[in-house]
Structure 1
Amino acid sequence: MVLPGSPGGWIVLSYTGDALAPPQRPVLRILRSVGDTQIAVLPGPAFGRGRWIGLIPADATELQLSLGAGTVLDRVARRSEAGIFLECVRRRPGNAAAAVVARAKGQARRVRDTLRGGVAVTRLKSFAGWAAERRVPFTGPVPSLAIRCVILAERGEGRGVQRTLANLGRQSHTPAETVVLWDEPPTETSGAAWDPDLTASDLLAGADALCLLEAGDELAPDGLALLAASLGNNDLAYADEIAPDGSPRLKPDWSPDLALATGYLGRAVLLSRKLVARLPALPIGPFANAVASVGIAAATACRHANHCPRPVARMSPVRDGDDRAPLLNRWLTATNASARARFQSGATDLVWPLPEPPPLLSVVIPSRDRPDLIVPACRAVLDGTDYPVIELIVVDNGSTDPAVLSFYYELTRDARVRIMSFPHPFNFSAMVNAGVAASSGQVVVLLNNDVGLRHPGWAGELVRQALRPDVGAVGAKLLFGDGKLQHAGVVVGLAGRAGHILRRRPADTPGHLGRLRVAHEVSAVTAACLAVARHKFEAVGGFDEDAFPVDFNDVDFCLRLAARDWKCVWTPAAELYHFESISRGPSTGAKRERFEREAARFTERWLSVIRHDPFYHPALSLTTFGEDLE
């Protein structure tokens, strides 16, 4: 879709999307008479409607809008800069003040970005009003699907049961059967008593799909219809939820590690008959843990899941048992999974075993000069790591500092160390490839020279994940020197290309759905600390030293692994400090021009992922580094 040329200024685009279309953010290309084409990635119409506010440069000649399948443009409107500024003053006065300072310094890009962050972005705590402006009821076709709804209830929850029953009766796609199961023989209304020997097949009872609810849960009027239309040939379909306190639970696309560790599937979910048939014939167990048990069982056996990125249910308070680890271990054992569950930082995490004996680990550190960095980095690997079999490869890019050269001479006395010369212009990707080629380990860890350790077990935590057959790259939790978050995974599309989520937040930030407390899938991780099995590194050709010699090479590498069905995992169990590129310095002048060239190549190669990072909800903002709405 091509929009008329614009003399510049602030505009608002409004558009409507199809609930069943693949999630895809619209893309706006701004053609300019001077300079490169600008690309803006817009918010996805996750709840039906989307809205974007942006500044068009004065030299724009044409606007090209790619909306994606099932999305139509509703309106284009203009806004004055004065109106934008006043709105920013009202909503986020700090942003308005920062924009004034940036304008005084002549920083036009910062003025634009700061004002956009003030008027286009909404905090999660204001979700209700934000969603009310965007939700469009679903009226599309629904397959003929016999859904059996099972409501779990405790004594005294009669009113909650009646509320849920009435709600199901008002659904646009009504269930074929609704059953109430009580933790004790029913005394308040009809239903049956919970039997601890029930299996998932018993709950399904021959229906096409199972929806397991708790007393008081309420679905949106189109809730079952959306779930039924989303199921298709998948094992399960799930949607977003509103928690009892009114906060949203905006879920990623299928993320099995996160589903097992946190139970994010919740109750807005349909289990298909074919999935239930594959589940082990184990009794679900105690009433209090029924929802968690069924969710864990489904996540262990699911092969294909479909996420409907809209809230379709408001949930009653959860009464699942506090300890998910025994439930998780029970179902993992039944499905012959080698992982075990543990508690970590208040959430259940999965631990994958290390083989005996552990494989050789090669740590590759590209470096040049800076004895204040390379000396402690090497000492930490060799003396501060408890992994039993390590080799260290330092790829040196022409160091001349006598202190560094002397340190290298000392290191060569250690049989675990090799100093490799790279006498060429700086090319981080080529240095990584050369270091890996010179190493011998079954698993390789790429490590920056500006990284410091937090605990000796970091390497083992990375290796145990990297050895999993379905895992490609593994990243660590990295902190700035002041203890704030530096790296908790990369969101593709953040800031227009790719960025670190929740930068500068406190180290113990749980993240949305508690995901920063557990190992989970992400689209990419930083090469400042990245583990990968050697054969997977070699299978995708290592880092792309031609297209991405300095920047975006790690994200590109992770996405090429994903294209081969090796997922990327971030784990908080490996925690290190990262002083972030202090050995390279900021990108200005020629460095900035080179960065923009590599950024353009990255956008061209991975625009489809930029438009939809599967592990980042399409309603969440790409403008800020937090978990905000846009």
Structure 2
Amino acid sequence: MAGRWIVLRYTMPVRARPQRPLLRLRRARGRIDRFVLPGIALGGAVWLGYVPADCEGIEIAGGEGFELERVGVRSARHVFAECLAKRPLRAAGALRALLRRDERRWRDSLRGACAVTPLSGYAAWRAARGTPPAPDKPAPDIGIRLVLAAEGASAAAVADTLAALTAQSHTHWTLRLSGAEAGIAADPRIHLTAWDPDAPALSLCGEADLFGILQPGDRLAPHALALLAAAFHEANPDLIYADEEIGAADPVPRLKPDWSPDLARVTGFLGGPALVARNFLAGLPARPVGAADAFATSLDLDCAGATRVVHLPRILCRRADLPDDTAKRSALLEARLSAAGDPARPILRSGILDLHRPRPEPAPLVTVVIPSRDRPDLITRVTGDILGRTDYPAIELVIVDNGSTDPAVLALYERLRGDGRVRIEAFPQPFNFAAMVNRGAAVARGDILVLLNNDVAVLRPDWLDALVAEAVRPEVGAVGAKLLYGDGRLQHAGVVVGLGGEAGHILRRRPADTPGHLCRLGVAHEVSAVTAACLAVGAEKYRAVGGFDAATFAVDFNDVDFCLRLGAAGWKTVWTPHAVLSHLESVSRGRPSGAARRLFEREASAFAERWRDIIRHDPFYHPALSLTTFGEDLE
């Protein structure tokens, strides 16, 4: 392995399509290695990668406006020394891979230590990437109205916010400032006024095109309003928001997903900076703004109903602190759900707000489909859990058997046939997981399908209630569960497309109570895909997209492909932490090798070809977060 390591630094226009650059290494004998590079959260991005000795050319698809600023070279010895200093265990793994001449594992071990930064290391990561640039061209004259309720705030915090505001390159803004001393505002665009709790929200906007709320201590980046105004002019959305960092002295980033209304409703991840279109405000129910300290939360909940939303994935604001509005949000949310006749209710666990959605009454029939072959220990446990340890009252169980010969399994099937809820469906063809799932779905009588692996165990009797409550929502397609390894660590908390190459489970092998960035692992929220080890979906939705693609993805990627096709048809995928099961993860199949490995590589290639755009930008995973490791790290 006598290649070289390279360091690329590059920039992209702020309003460019948020796709990560794609790099290709053309190697001898026609081999091509592909890498998805990190996106940009500040001024530029940096990528460290290995160029093998047989590399014959490098190609980068960066998109319009991509600019490669610098290319550096590092020796393997230097990279290994850095890995040894930062992550000795990874260095040991890299050395073992080197001795086995396992290039991929060697490369990935070193990259995981040297190219990736935990969120706690944000300060140094930020210093190397600069600040967001001005827009490529100024936006037309977009008027922006901001409000700042300064009651109880320190004069220094208010002064910081005003200094950053008056330094904006976009000058067409006005500010309504309440609760501050009369002499604090010298700029004619700043209007001192008392807060009027009886005023309608639209009156605060005046005639401006966009409306937003500042918190005392907020410091907008110099081009923040210009970038937001330009994006508004291009897309005319209801709502536009960007990313932020929290902390006056030692800030940490809040890197937000693209529009995720379920997550926004309970976590309030919008934060700042966020601007609402005047036309959207005009369409909201006419009600008074109320107390100043509750108005931001109320407007944030209103914004959760927006449909045309733009996320600008750049850090454009520093907030001194993150306001704790959990109690206000819970009360307001409960009132609005009650008024709308929605049976969901807020729940608060360990300081995290989420929604409890009860199962519908009467409970729809659920068909649980389990593909299986032999392994009496697994199939005995999972069928016993479904039929005897699950509270849900309307269950049909379909076992799709792929030629079992084990006498214990055949005896179990005979006993199960005496249960009117159970059907054993024979699948005598060569193993094809996707086709087996489709066979089970074809004979299912249930309104809801639940696809379940045979190596899953029930941990809580209400797991099916939680899945069905999400799956019956009209806008929801697939629903995934929280799956744990046998040792209690996370196995599945949603799939990120692009993670590890094609798709991977976020935060796997972390403690089960890991909160996740933006506390999203404590709440039900949108993801791009979930695993079919435990996946619920309405039967009509399943059939509408043609079920699993058994011809292209017989063994792997069929579940992710299915979720993405549901998304393309207009149904979102949701992961819920309230359905908790144990999963031994492919214990019945083992690791692929030989022909199975070659099949995996063919299916991976087909998946990459079909879903290249989403691999380059999973909308629910910020482009500056690493695809190299399975954590939420910076790259």
Provide the TM-score with structure 1 as the length reference: 0.95
1:384/1:456 contact within 8 Å kept: yes
Once the two structures are superposed, the pairs formed by residues 260-409 of structure 1 within 5 Å of their partners are 260-300=265-305, 302-323=306-327, 324-333=329-338, 339-409=344-414
Describe the shift of the 1:480–1:39 C-alpha distance in structure 2 as closer, same or farther (beyond 3 A): same
SS in 2 for 1:494: coil
What CA deviation, in whole Å up to 9, does each residue of 1:489-538 have, x standing for no partner?
00000011100000100000000000000000000000000000011100
Does residue 1:620 correspond to 2:625, yes or no?
Answer: yes
Does residue 1:179 correspond to 2:184, yes or no?
Answer: no
Describe the shift of the 1:336–1:178 C-alpha distance in structure 2 as closer, same or farther (beyond 3 A): farther
SS in 2 for 1:366: strand
Q: Which residue of 1 aligns with 2:578?
A: 573
Does residue 1:249 correspond to 2:254, yes or no?
Answer: yes
Describe the shift of the 1:51–1:319 C-alpha distance in structure 2 as closer, same or farther (beyond 3 A): closer
Q: Which residue of 1 aligns with 2:203?
A: 202
- Which moves more between the two structures, 403-412 or 206-215? 206-215
Does residue 1:170 correspond to 2:172, yes or no?
Answer: no
Does residue 1:27 correspond to 2:14, yes or no?
Answer: no
Whole-angstrom CA distance in 2 between matches of 1:120 and 1:535: 45
Whole-angstrom CA distance in 2 between matches of 1:359 and 1:438: 17
In the alignment, residue 321 of structure 1 is paired with which amino acid?
Answer: D
SS in 2 for 1:495: coil
What CA deviation, in whole Å up to 9, does each residue of 1:160-193 have, x standing for no partner?
22221222111111352111123xx968867333
In the alignment, residue 303 of structure 1 is paired with which amino acid?
Answer: T
Does residue 1:64 correspond to 2:65, yes or no?
Answer: no
RMSD: 1.9
In the alignment, residue 132 of structure 1 is paired with which amino acid?
Answer: A
Once the two structures are superposed, the pairs formed by residues 87-166 of structure 1 within 5 Å of their partners are 87-140=82-135, 141-166=138-163
Does residue 1:236 correspond to 2:233, yes or no?
Answer: no
SS in 1 for 2:10: strand
Percent of counterpart pairs with the same letter? 55
Whole-angstrom CA distance in 1 between matches of 2:286 and 2:324: 21
Whole-angstrom CA distance in 2 between matches of 1:50 and 1:187: 44
- Which moves more between the two structures, 261-270 or 62-71? 62-71
Whole-angstrom CA distance in 2 between matches of 1:551 and 1:322: 41
SS in 2 for 1:34: helix
Does residue 1:495 correspond to 2:490, yes or no?
Answer: no
Whole-angstrom CA distance in 2 between matches of 1:579 and 1:143: 57
SS in 1 for 2:282: helix
- Tell me the CA shift for residue 334 of structure 1: 5.5
Whole-angstrom CA distance in 2 between matches of 1:284 and 1:578: 48
Q: Which residue of 1 aligns with 2:35?
A: 40
Q: Which residue of 2 aligns with 1:212?
A: 213
Whole-angstrom CA distance in 1 between matches of 2:529 and 2:58: 31
Whole-angstrom CA distance in 2 between matches of 1:143 and 1:512: 36
Once the two structures are superposed, the pairs formed by residues 480-559 of structure 1 within 5 Å of their partners are 480-559=485-564
SS in 1 for 2:380: helix
1:30/1:38 contact within 8 Å kept: yes
Segments of 5+ residues of structure 1 without an aligned counterpart are 1-5
In the alignment, residue 162 of structure 2 is paired with which amino acid?
Answer: L
Q: How many residues align?
A: 622
Whole-angstrom CA distance in 2 between matches of 1:225 and 1:583: 56
In the alignment, residue 319 of structure 2 is paired with which amino acid?
Answer: M
- Tell me the CA shift for residue 51 of structure 1: 1.8
1:473/1:532 contact within 8 Å kept: yes
Describe the shift of the 1:188–1:510 C-alpha distance in structure 2 as closer, same or farther (beyond 3 A): farther
Correspondent of 1:50 among 42, 45, 51: 45
1:280/1:334 contact within 8 Å kept: no
Describe the shift of the 1:67–1:99 C-alpha distance in structure 2 as closer, same or farther (beyond 3 A): same
Describe the shift of the 1:161–1:325 C-alpha distance in structure 2 as closer, same or farther (beyond 3 A): same
Describe the shift of the 1:237–1:586 C-alpha distance in structure 2 as closer, same or farther (beyond 3 A): same
Describe the shift of the 1:35–1:593 C-alpha distance in structure 2 as closer, same or farther (beyond 3 A): farther
Q: Which residue of 2 aligns with 1:3?
A: none
1:9/1:78 contact within 8 Å kept: yes
- Which moves more between the two structures, 530-539 or 209-218? 209-218
- Which moves more between the two structures, 419-428 or 123-132? 123-132
What CA deviation, in whole Å up to 9, does each residue of 1:139-171 have, x standing for no partner?
222331111110112235233222212221111
- Which moves more between the two structures, 512-521 or 461-470? 461-470
Once the two structures are superposed, the pairs formed by residues 391-430 of structure 1 within 5 Å of their partners are 391-430=396-435
Provide the TM-score with structure 2 as the length reference: 0.94
